[in-house]
Amino acid sequence: MAGRRLLHAVPVVLAVSAGVFAAAAASPFDPLAGYLGDRYLTASQATQDEIAAQLGTDRPWPAQYLGWLGDLVTGDLGTSRSFGQPVAQVLAERLPWTLLLVAVALLAAVVLALVLGTWTAARRGGWVDRLVTPGCLLLQGLPPFVVALGGVAVFGVALSWLPVAGLTDAGAELTAGQVARHLVLPALVLALSQLPWLLLNVRQSLLRSLGEDHVAGARSRGLAERTVVLRHALPTALLPFATLLGARLPELVVGAVLVEEVFSWPGLAQAVVTSATELDFPLLAFLTVLTTVAVLVGSLVADVAYVLLDPRVAADG
């Protein structure tokens, strides 16, 4: 299954990356103007033509795309025009910080969703359920940047518990404690932006599972309620949760970009914004491909997790 999914992903990645070049070519913005900045108005036509030839923007977008794709196959990611660095260097400096933020936020969201979702389902109508469920419904309607601003106002300004910005130089000498203190609030905000869907999914799935015949049979055998919930009902409830987790990955990535901007986190957010506004083709195309691959991998991981949780799926396939 995994091999087939990977093969199917290749044309998707090619189509998405080609779409970046096609959309950029159709844009009214001139990448040469973005590259030259204030010098664009004073540069002679000969100078503009020479720089356009160096950047490759004088060619039709299909030719630019094929050239970029050929370089990519050989391991050459190109040079970012907006940062004046190889794309590989931009990624090496910024990608680990984004991965750290996303990984911690995802782990926090999954743990909270499983713990609170199980609690609220097993003790439906209790004070935790009456507090958590309406809170999740409220959070569902709030975009990540609103949650981020709320976190800044409460934990950074009102309570002064956590720093809200400042970790802007990824190359500086930073201690693990400094990174952890700056990481707590953006990771918490990003986790909260995904928590409602995950938690409510666990709750609803577990409530359905608790009403099934095999769970009633477990109760009739005199098993403790905790054993009934954790060993008999929860595994079934995790099947849709695994699928939802993969489906939420694209929004998690988008949310990470917004959260990074709010908290000055030294990840890929600035690179994404800059490459888009300045039509930095090499960087923009690779970031798009990277995001697409992340989404496809997330979907694949969700499918694999589904099979591991329910081997009947593999047998049917």
The secondary structure of residue 212, as a DSSP letter, is S
Within a domain: 286: no
| Residues 220-255: tens digit of each pLDDT | 887 777 888 888 788 888 878 877 887 787 778 778
Bridge partner list, 252: none
| Residues 52-71: tens digit of each pLDDT | 776 667 777 788 788 878 87
Confidence of residue 5 (pLDDT cuts 50, 70, 90): low
| Residues 81-127: tens digit of each pLDDT | 778 788 888 888 888 888 899 899 999 999 999 999 999 988 888 88
Within a domain: 298: no
Amino acid at 32: L
Within a domain: 112: yes
Within a domain: 94: yes
Q: Which helix (H) or strand (E) holds 264?
A: none
Place of tokens 């997790």: 305
Q: 82 and 278 in contact (C-beta within 8 Å)?
A: yes
Within a domain: 3: no
Within a domain: 310: no
CATH of the domain at 206: 1.10.3720.10
For the ranges 20-34, 166-180, 291-305, the maximum mean pLDDT occurs at 291-305
Number of domains composing the chain: 1
Within a domain: 300: no
User: 3-state DSSP call for residue 80?
Assistant: strand
The secondary structure of residue 43, as a DSSP letter, is S
Instruction: Provide the CA 41 distance to its chain's centre, in angstroms.
Output: 39
Helices 176-210 and 234-247, interaxial angle, to 10°? 130
Per the structure, the complete domain to which residue 178 belongs is given by 88-279
Within a domain: 41: no
Bridge partner list, 124: none
